[in-house]
């Protein structure tokens, strides 16, 4: 599908898969991993944010 990306990020023990550009972060950001990293949080906090957003996407 055009416009869909499959970036993979690794943070310590957690593995997050981000699907597409409609990844549901609160601000509706187009590049969620880069935007979360730009906040300057430690790796554990970054993983919590991305993991929570992934769960919302998968409706877990």
Q: How far apart are CA 16 and CA 50, in angstroms?
A: 7
pLDDT at site 53: 78
pLDDT by 10-residue block (mean), the chain, 60 residues: 46 45 54 81 88 77
pLDDT of residue 30: 65
pLDDT at position 33: 80
For the chain, the structural domain boundaries read: 8-58
Global model pTM greater than 0.95: no
Question: Residues of 17-49 as b/e, b for ≥16 C-beta within 10 angstroms?
Answer: ebeeeebebeeebeebbeebeeeeeeeeebbeb
């Amino acid at each position: 599908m055009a416009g869909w990306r499959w970036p993979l990020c690794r943070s310590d023990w957690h593995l997050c898969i981000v699907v597409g550009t409609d990844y549901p972060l609160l601000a509706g950001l187009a590049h969620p991993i880069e935007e979360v990293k730009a906040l300057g949080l430690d790796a554990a906090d970054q993983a919590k944010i991305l993991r929570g957003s992934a769960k919302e996407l998968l409706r877990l």
